[in-house]
């Protein structure tokens, strides 16, 4: 059994030394989840609702502890970690309530009665990334468990601590043994076993597009259900008629939040040419006020990147740029990358095309509405995006033309548990959140009963 040393990205101090599970451990967890399946799927809806609410309340009662763990493991500012911990509880509450609302239907037919049922799938494998570890785990745990499935959660091996704690809290809240299993190990071996194992009926994955494609190929063999939440290169489109103060004040948060390690990061800022210089000046001023430093300080807006390896990956993009603004980073240890703003004439630089997953904004001019839509859609990704304008009709025309799944107008907002979230094109397959996601964690069964 190999071990992984987890370091605090802000200090490089060792946070934990963790044994890695083996493929055999994963097999045992899958078998445990399968064995718990019958008991969980037959828990009455009201009791399943109650148990999930108790899980949510237990998470809320441990929100500070979870937040601190997340910040020490992945470097997210403590204010964001606290927000995430409470959002985990809210997400679990929402899906607890959904247990009794995800109803089938009756359909008018000749000669009898026709009805549909949403049946649980069985064992579901949840594979999550390192950028919002506990939050993204909850996006999958909530609907998977509410729908009557049992789960094996495989968190990113570099940020597993809050997922492990969620597993403990679920037991503390009274979820039966075997319903929620957490296995920590490398993706290519232990994670891949969820793709291969015949007892696993579905894989729900959030991570890179490269790995998502591999999983899609792997799942083909058993026609295994698969949902994918993948990468992004989203556009923040600022028209000349926008409230420029408001758009510029929001722009740093749209791209530098979580050190840019955010699939929804609006890392392409598209600005109408007639206000380009004026907006850029305001954006740079707002970025200069962005406080980078100790993630345990509640005043901090941005912490370090997650690991030394990831810092090297981001630097490989940013060192070729000629930024118009580069922020400050703390001296001393830690995996720090400054906030950075660069200008591009068009979409040709690689930094405009590829997901950097760091605090780097590319600002690109456009001429008119059609030009803005053309540049926005000139990407293999289509996850999120924003439009800033005071013209309501324009906002509607542009959002309908954008090839992206999760869009906001005069706001950076992307994710709410009650509204569908997901991507077009190579940003994903399926949706998270809202009642829609429950269809991804159930099979639709149709039954005809003759009355003749």
Q: How far is the CB of 137 from ligand NAD (least distance, A)?
A: 10
Q: How far is the CB of 241 from ligand NAD (least distance, A)?
A: 31
Q: How far is the CB of 263 from ligand NAD (least distance, A)?
A: 3
CA distance 87 to 85: 5
Q: How far is the CB of 77 from ligand NAD (least distance, A)?
A: 17
User: Which residues are part of the catalytic machinery?
Assistant: 229, 263
* Full 3-state SS string of 102-166: CCCCEECCCCEEEEEEEEECCEEEEECCCCCHHHHHHHHHHHHHHCCCEEEEECCCCCCHHHHHH
CA distance 409 to 413: 9
Q: What angle, 0 to 180 degrees and rounded to 10, lies between the N-to-C axes of helices 133-146 and 78-98? A: 0
CA distance 196 to 179: 20
Q: How far is the CB of 156 from ligand NAD (least distance, A)?
A: 4
Q: 386 or 389, CB closer to ligand NAD? A: 386
Q: How far is the CB of 393 from ligand NAD (least distance, A)?
A: 30
> In angstroms, how far is CA 271 from the centroid of its own chain?
27
Q: 206 or 389, CB closer to ligand NAD? A: 206
Name the CA dihedral angle for 424, 427, 429, 432, rounded to a multiple of 10 degrees: -100
Residue 77: name the closest of 312, 304, 288, 262 by CA: 304
The residues with which 237 forms a beta bridge, in sequence order, are 270, 387
Q: Enter the tokens of residue 124.
A: 């579901």
Q: How far is the CB of 423 from ligand NAD (least distance, A)?
A: 6
Tell me how long the chain is. Answer: 452
Q: 208 or 434, CB closer to ligand NAD? A: 208
**Cβ-Cβ contacts under 8 Å for 319 (sequence gap 6 or more):** none
Closest residue to ligand NAD, based on beta-carbon distance: 187
Cα-Cα-Cα-Cα dihedral sign, residues 159, 161, 167, 169: negative
Q: How far is the CB of 75 from ligand NAD (least distance, A)?
A: 14
Cα angle at 388 between 383 and 324, to 5 degrees? Answer: 85
Q: Which residues bind ligand NAD (CB under 6 A)?
A: 127-131, 136, 154-157, 187-188, 191-192, 206-208, 211, 214, 229-232, 263, 355, 357, 383, 423, 427-428
**For 114, left (φ over 0), alpha (ψ -120 to 50), or beta?**
beta
Host H or E run for residue 371: helix 369-377
Say which DSSP state 11 is in: T
Q: 212 or 293, CB closer to ligand NAD? A: 212
Q: 327 or 423, CB closer to ligand NAD? A: 423
Q: 176 or 253, CB closer to ligand NAD? A: 253
Taking the alpha carbons at both ends of the chain, their separation in whole angstroms is: 63
What percent of the chain is helix, strand and coil (3-state, nearest 5)? 40, 20, 35
Q: 188 or 450, CB closer to ligand NAD? A: 188
């Amino acid at each position: 059994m190999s071990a992984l040393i987890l370091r605090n990205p802000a200090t490089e101090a060792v946070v934990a030394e963790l044994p890695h599970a083996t493929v055999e451990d994963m097999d045992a967890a899958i078998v445990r989840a399968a064995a718990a399946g019958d008991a969980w799927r037959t828990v009455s809806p009201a009791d399943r609702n109650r148990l999930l609410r108790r899980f949510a309340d237990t998470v809320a009662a441990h929100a500070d502890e979870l937040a601190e763990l997340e910040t020490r493991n992945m470097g997210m500012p403590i204010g964001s970690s606290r927000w995430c911990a409470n959002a985990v509880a809210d997400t679990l509450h929402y899906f607890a309530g959904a247990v009794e609302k995800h109803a089938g239907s009756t359909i008018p037919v000749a000669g009898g009665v026709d009805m549909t049922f949403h049946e649980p799938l069985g064992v579901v494998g949840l594979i999550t990334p390192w950028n919002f570890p506990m939050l993204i785990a909850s996006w999958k745990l909530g609907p998977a468990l509410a729908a009557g499935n049992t789960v094996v959660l495989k968190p990113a091996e570099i940020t597993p601590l809050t997922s492990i704690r969620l597993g403990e809290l679920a037991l503390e809240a009274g979820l039966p043994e075997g319903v929620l299993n957490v296995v920590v190990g490398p993706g290519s071996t232990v994670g891949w076993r969820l793709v291969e194992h015949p007892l696993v009926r579905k894989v729900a994955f959030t991570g890179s597009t490269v790995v998502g494609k591999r999983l899609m190929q792997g799942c083909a063999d058993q026609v295994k259900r698969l949902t994918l939440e993948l990468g992004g290169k989203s556009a923040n489109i600022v028209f000349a008629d926008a409230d420029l103060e408001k758009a510029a004040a929001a722009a740093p948060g749209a791209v530098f939040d979580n050190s840019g390690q955010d699939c929804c990061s609006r890392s392409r800022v598209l600005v109408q040419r007639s206000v380009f210089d004026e907006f850029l000046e305001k954006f740079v001023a707002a970025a200069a006020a962005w406080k980078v430093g100790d993630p345990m300080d509640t005043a901090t807006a941005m912490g370090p990147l997650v690991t030394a390896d990831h810092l090297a990956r981001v630097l490989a993009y940013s060192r070729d740029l000629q930024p118009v603004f580069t922020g400050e980073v703390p001296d001393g240890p830690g995996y720090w990358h400054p906030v950075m703003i660069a200008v591009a004439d068009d979409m040709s630089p690689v930094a405009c095309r590829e997901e950097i997953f760091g605090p780097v904004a590319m600002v690109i001019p456009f001429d008119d509405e059609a030009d803005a839509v053309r540049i926005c859609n000139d990407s293999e990704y289509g996850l999120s995006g924003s439009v800033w304008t005071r013209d309501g009709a324009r906002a509607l025309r542009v959002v309908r033309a954008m090839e992206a799944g999760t869009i906001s107008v005069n706001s950076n907002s992307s994710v709410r548990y009650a509204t569908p979230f997901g991507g077009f094109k190579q940003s994903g397959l399926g949706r998270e959140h809202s009642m829609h996601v429950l269809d991804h964690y159930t099979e639709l069964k149709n039954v005809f009963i003759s009355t003749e």
